Amino acid sequence: MGLSRVRAVFFDLDNTLIDTAGASKRGMLEVIKLLKSKYHYKEEAELICDKVQVKLSKECFHPYSTCITDLRTSHWEEAIQETKGGADNRKLAEECYFLWKSTRLQHMTLEEDIKAMLTELRKEVRLLLLTNGDRQTQREKIEACACQSYFDAIVVGGEQKEEKPAPSIFYHCCDLLGVQPGDCVMVGDTLETDIQGGLNAGLKATVWINKSGIVPVTSSPIPHYIVSSVLELPALLQNIDGKVSMSV
């Protein structure tokens, strides 16, 4: 960690600034209601949603060979087929997917205290949103939570040659803001992408948001700092800058 003050903060989006996991869960609950009320499914409704959740967690998306809508509709189609048997039901799969997606987006909001924090931080440092994922999916989330005005720049991994944890995307972010890696702090909830990426790129500091207090496996990348909420960041940045003052 260099002796310069923090000049820029890179924020992850999902489960760092917005509750993507919670929004997805609410989407699944709406689909379960639909399957039970309109199609008279019983416990199969929960099973289908559980299967889709597993498919989403293992998802490999290649933007040049497929579109995210087709891929995710297929997750639902396969889950229905695996649970219920019978003929493929693309129409039902589409209905489930679009209900899940629209409900999820409705619940992707930037909380007022997070908006206030970003507004205050931006008076002192430059802010950049750095999110991995498919271009369409991430841009829809950004639109839904209306966070554009809080950042000096927004970088979506799916629009770049490489995503986090590749150093190249971090260097691109530095170039956009006119700063050096040693001026920047990365804040995110995923050790393998946010923290490893920040370490790979030689950023000043990495901050891991560990909401649930999980103990990482020993082989995991080690963040410089751990907080349980993104709202702890302003005090932490003062601490980081305080260490610089004492060193100088």
For residue 190, give the DSSP letter: -
Instruction: Give 26's contacts (C-beta < 8 A, 6+ positions apart).
Output: 103, 104, 107
- At 168-224, the pLDDT tens digits run 999 999 999 999 999 999 999 999 999 999 999 999 999 999 999 999 888 999 999
How many CB atoms lie under 10 A from the CB of residue 115? 17
**Whole-model pTM?**
0.93
User: Mean pLDDT throughout 140-154?
Assistant: 98
Q: What is the pLDDT of residue 242?
A: 76
DSSP string spanning 74-123?
Answer: HHHHHHHHHHH-SS--HHHHHHHHHHHHHHHHHT----HHHHHHHHHHTT
Where b means 16+ CB within 10 Å and e means fewer, 131-145 reads bbbbeebbbbbbebb
Residue 3 predicted with pLDDT over 60: no
User: Can you tell me the distance from the alpha carbon of 136 to that of 134, in angstroms, rounded to the nearest whole number?
Assistant: 6
